Amino acid sequence: MIRYPNGRTYQKAEINHTKQKGNHIYSNRGMTLEDDLNETNSYYLDRSIAVVHKKPTPIQIVNVNYPKRSAAVIKEAYFKQASTTDYNGVYKGKYLDFEAKETKNKTSFPLQNFHNHQIEHMSNVVKQNGICFVILMFSSLEEVYLYEAYHLLKWWDDMKKGGRKSIPKKSIEQDGHLIELGFQPRIPYLKVVDELYF
């Protein structure tokens, strides 16, 4: 069992690799945004396009069971500290940093999906002229957007002053950039990064 700093238990999402609807088989529909981004980043790394990795979250192991000398099983662990964003790396000599979030909501993206420490980190990256954004997925619509951090920061500041607690999808469509999902890479977000920064 792994726990977050607030004591909540970590639950790994179950993956359903094949769903059938009528005569169509939808392979990997249960893949998470994180899985797709990890595959995309492996594609970029294997072809020497970019070096982007998911940041590991440090954990503190509390209880380990040793059923055999060669097979230890972690029974209880806690996340040591709140993490910053999900991914960082280097692309064309520039620092790249982004967070990935998904929602089943169809009309807006809840700001509660983000945490203060993530917003603070993104703000610091923007101040240092790093490339910083969020990848937002509307999972029920199968739409993925690259949304630059400075747009998110404006919405966050507005929420802190009593404004909306979500970003309307229309604003994400207007200010964000729809990423056409592909096969290799699955989420070609660097095409958008090229258009915006290079």
Q: What phi and psi, each to the nearest 5 degrees, are found at residue 31?
A: -60, 140
Write b or e for each residue in 160-189: b if 16 or more Cβ atoms lie within 10 A of its Cβ, otherwise e. Answer: eeeeeebbebebbeebbbebeeeeebbbbb
CATH label of the domain that carries residue 129? 3.40.1350.10
Residue 25 lies in a domain: no
What domain count does the chain have?
Answer: 1
Residue 12 lies in a domain: no
Average pLDDT over residues 169-174: 98
Q: How confident is the model at residue 4 (pLDDT cuts 50, 70, 90)?
A: low
Residue 183 lies in a domain: yes
Residue 62 lies in a domain: no
Is 86 marked as binding a ligand? Answer: yes
Range of the domain at 148: 31-56+82-197
Q: What is the pLDDT of residues 40-82, one digit of tens each?
A: 999 999 999 999 999 876 677 888 888 777 778 888 877 665 6
Residue 47 lies in a domain: yes
Angle at which helices 149-160 and 116-127 cross, to 10°: 130
Residue 67 lies in a domain: no
Residue 10 lies in a domain: no
Residue 37 lies in a domain: yes
Is 99 marked as binding a ligand? Answer: yes
Q: What is the pLDDT of residues 87-115, one digit of tens each?
A: 999 999 999 999 999 999 999 999 999 99
Q: Could you give the CA distance from residue 141 to residue 87 in angstroms, rounded to a whole number?
A: 24
> pTM, whole model, 2 decimals?
0.76
